[in-house]
Chain A
Amino acid sequence: MSLIAAEITKRFRDVTAVDNLTFSVQGGSLFGFLGPNGAGKTTTMRVVLGIIRPDEGQVTWNGTPFRRLGRGFFGYLPEERGLYPKMRVAEHLEFLGRIHGLDKRKAQIETERWIDRFDLGELRHKRIEELSKGNQQKVQTIGTMLHDPELLVLDEPFSGLDPVNTALLKEVLLESHKRGKTIIFSSHRMDQVEEICEDIVLIDRGRLVLHGNLRQIKRSMGRQILRISLEGNEDFWYKIPGMELLTSRADFQEFRLGEGVDPNYVLREAMQAGQVLRFELVEPSLDQIFVEKVGVGA
């Protein structure tokens, strides 16, 4: 079971938003879809969901073109949130259930279940426009899951949620994951992606930059990040060519080791400079990989 996006290209007049992009998402995985602003994430998601047709390439699920999968197959939370402002919460959720293929009874039952779960009981008869942004987002997120879709595509699902609701949503997502549902989500918060996702794809300017299992990607980047904590001359590293200071924190300093710099040599130099409290070679964080690959801050 897997989603395969093969050689997707989408142009808007003279701009190529997605350029010959190929990636696959293992069925049942939690998949992170990353890229800087304007990289073509939203366009790619729209192509995957069949909202817009690619100029070239196609997206399939187990060999079936996406357009032939039923309405109930997807749940989509776009980055630009939106609901019908005049409709009432329960009525709106029921409507979203219905357009995703639930019959009337099932839509009502699921609406009740999710309203309970997300503690929206008091707001049930309020109009959407009377709700806070956070609650509107809760309603819309529920709307994407009400019909228990096989594939959830969530664009920045946590932005705008308070910690309690973030935790609740995470719990719900992990639960669906356990039941074998596929979840693709995009976020600028690399720590969240790191926390949840197993596989990622990173795109920039419509092109593929990185793709694969997050752990393997990190490993393949090499243990080039060094954390040192030292009592003594902290500036000892100035004379070692190829060392680059990344961050200087109260508890440690973090360096990137250049090509051909021997960590053991650095350790010996550090020991001469003072008492070494910490010396650790670590994998780069997703944040660092992102910055390195894309060249701009996330």
Chain B
Amino acid sequence: MIPVLVKREFTSRVKGTAYIITTILGVLVFVGLSFLPPLIERFSASITPGQIDLVVYEQPGKSSIFPFLQQVSVERDGFTVRSGSDLDEREAYRMVLDEGLSGLLLVDGPLYTLVTADASNMMLNDEIENILNLAVSRHNAVRLGLSAEDVSSLFSPADFRIREVSPLGEDGEEVDSAAHAQAMVLAYFLLFMIYMALIMYGNMVASGVAEEKSSRIMEVMVSTVKPLELMLGKIIGVGSLGLLQFFIWIGTGLLMNTMGSSGALGMMLGISEPLSTIPLDTVLWFGLYFVLGYFLYASIFAAAGALVSRVEEVSQVVTIIMMLIMVGFFGAYISFLNPNSGFAVATSLIPFTSPMVMFSRIVLGSPSLMEVIASVLVLLVSVLVGAWISGKIYRIGILMYGKRLTLRQVLMLVRE
């Protein structure tokens, strides 16, 4: 019986305008992302300052910063500097305005003031500050009697590596920090997919149930089909719609990925290698937690949908479920920073958050096998218990119209 229900759910929705539009929008987003790098280049070019022209006005006598600024202007394209010390301060202001210069730099001992016609151009101000810093540090180096090599060695960063020891490998394995960054972006991307799927398809399930109630088809359905079958038919039907959408989107991403070096997924993940470098076990873990998490939440969404009489009321009852999902998402996000913290370990065992947190931990950290098994088991049991309880609420809720049930009444129904 369930296949007939799944098929109805699937075919009647797959032709729906809403589904087609979201699928196409998703495809456009993925296609659009592959055009993002050139777009970003253009965009950033338009806001970075092109030409910088400065006039420097110095109090005479002190050792001058001007030669060092001149030195920078020789090394740097698009930067000119001239001295305005022979001018009157008023005249210098006028020059900035008349000639459209970037600004006038007033030097008074250790105090540098930029006088500019447009103080709101942050990019320009930052750039001028950078140039000034460079000139000042060179100035200081000369004053302290340091050579150019001394200066460069002063500012060169330490060669920092990380090595993780485990009881098995005594020397420990060196952590590839680039690979770790990639894993992090990948985990974030997939986590976001789980989060979106739970909210999108969960809502679809809830409003689907409410639709069946408000169109009053429900009574005919439950006279022939068991409520649990009806619920599973809906959950699996909507779930397969979701999978199809994901396949289309990820397929688009792959296609764009292979079509150019500025591939969509590669871009999105911040890596230039093709998607095939995503480890298979990550994909499998993703699948497992995706399916289990979806089943857990979809059955709760179905029960919530059964509590209201009309589709418009759905949003009132699903808020609390959405908040649970968000908690899971932020929990996972926090555990990105330290995948083996007590917080992350705890939330990777709680079934409402574990699909997102445990998945992230597996990709990023190395949770012990016991923790993984425990998390999967707890989640699996929760899926069964959740489906059972939701099935009960669903069975009673689907024939109730009118006033919405309070949480207490729902609990009483479950206990019956």
On whether the beta carbons of A100 and B224 are closer than 8 Å, the reply is yes
How far apart are the CA atoms of A84 and B216 in the complex, in Å? 9
Asked if residues A140 and B8 are in contact (CB atoms below 8 Å), the reply is no
Q: Which A residues touch B215, using CB under 8 A?
A: 82-85
B16 contacts A by Cβ under 8 Å: yes
Q: How far is the CA of A77 from the CA of B212 in the complex (A)?
A: 16
Q: Are B1 and A99 in contact (CB under 8 A)?
A: yes
Answer whether residue A114 sits at the interface, using C-beta atoms and an 8 A cutoff: no
A209 vs B404: C-alpha distance when bound (angstroms): 34
Count A/B pairs, Cβ under 8 Å. 58
Pairwise interchain contact A86-B223, C-beta atoms closer than 8 A? no
Is B220 touching A78 in the complex (CB atoms < 8 A)?
yes
Q: What distance in Å separates the Cβ of A125 from its nearest Cβ neighbour in chain B?
A: 13
**A82 in contact with B12 (CB, 8 Å):** no
**What is the CA–CA distance of A46 and B398 in the complex, to the nearest angstrom?**
13
CA distance A190 to B81 in the complex (A): 104
Q: Closest chain B residue to A143 by CB distance?
A: B220
Interface residues of B in 308-332 (CB under 8 A from A): none
A87 touching B223, Cβ below 8 Å: no
Please give me the residue from chain B that is nearest to A49 by CB atom.
B223
> A74 to B223, Cβ gap below 8 A?
yes
Contacting residues, chain A, for B221 (C-beta < 8 A): 99
Q: In whole angstroms, what is the CA distance A74 to B220 when docked?
A: 11
The residue among B1, B5, B220, B221 with the most chain A CB atoms within 10 A of its own CB is B220
For chain B, what secondary structure do more than half of its interface residues adopt (helix, strand, loop), or is it mixed? helix
Best-buried of A82, A86, A100, A144 by chain B (most CB within 10 Å) = A82
Which residue in A80, A86, A143 is a CB contact (below 8 Å) of B219?
A: A80
B168 at the interface (CB under 8 A from A): no
Among A80, A99, A100, max chain B CB count under 10 A is at: A99
Within 8 A of A (CB), among B193-226: 212, 215-225
A267 at the interface (CB under 8 A from B): no
Quick one: which of B4, B16, B225, B399 contacts A86, CB cutoff 8 A?
A: B16
Closest partner residue, chain B, to A12 (CB atom): B400
* Residue pair A51, B217 in contact (C-beta under 8 Å): no
Closest chain B CB from A241 CB (angstroms): 50
Task: Give residues 198-216 of A contacting B (CB, 8 Å).
Answer: none
Across the interface, do B219 and A51 meet the contact criterion of CB distance under 8 Å? Answer: yes
Residues from chain A with Cβ under 8 Å of B4 in the complex: 95, 98-99
Which of B5, B16, B217, B399 counts the most A-chain CB atoms under 10 A from its CB? B217
Tell me if A81 counts as interface (CB < 8 A to partner B). yes
Against B, the Cβ 8 Å flags (1 = close, 0 = not) of A87-100 are 10000000110111
Chain B residues whose C-beta falls within 8 Å of the C-beta of A80 in the assembled complex: 216, 219
Q: Which residue of B lies closest to A84 (CB)?
A: B217
B217 touches A82 (CB 8 A): yes
Residues on the A chain within 8 Å of B216, using CB: 78, 80-82
**Contact B12–A76 (Cβ < 8 Å):** no
- Which chain A residues lie closer than 8 Å to B224 at the CB level? 71, 74, 76, 99-100
Residue ID in chain A nearest B16 by CB atoms: A86
- Residues of the B chain whose Cβ atoms lie less than 8 Å from the Cβ of A46: 219, 399
Complex contact A51–B12 (CB within 8 A): no
Interface centre among A50, A52, A80, A96 (most CB of B within 10 A): A80
Assess A76 versus B217: contact at CB under 8 Å? Given A52-B399, A86-B16, A98-B4: no
When the two chains form their complex, are residues A95 and B8 in contact, meaning their CB atoms are under 8 A apart?
yes
* Given A95-B4, A95-B8, CB of A83 within 8 Å of CB of B225: no
- Report Cα–Cα, A98/B222, bound state, in Å: 14
A76 touches B16 (CB 8 A): no
Task: Return the chain A residue nearest B9 by Cβ.
Answer: A84
Contact status B16-A51, CB under 8 Å: no
Q: B-contacting residues of A (Cβ < 8 Å)?
A: 46, 49-52, 71, 74, 76-78, 80-87, 95-96, 98-100, 140, 143-144
9 interchain residue pairs of minimum CB distance:
A82-B216, A82-B217, A78-B219, A80-B216, A76-B223, A98-B4, A49-B223, A82-B215, A71-B224
Q: List 11 A-B contacts (CB under 8 A).
A: A46-B219, A49-B223, A51-B399, A71-B1, A71-B225, A74-B224, A76-B219, A80-B219, A84-B217, A99-B225, A143-B220
What 11 additional pairs, Cβ within 8 angstroms, besides A74-B224, A82-B216, A99-B224? A51-B222, A74-B223, A77-B220, A78-B220, A80-B216, A82-B215, A82-B217, A82-B219, A87-B12, A96-B220, A99-B5
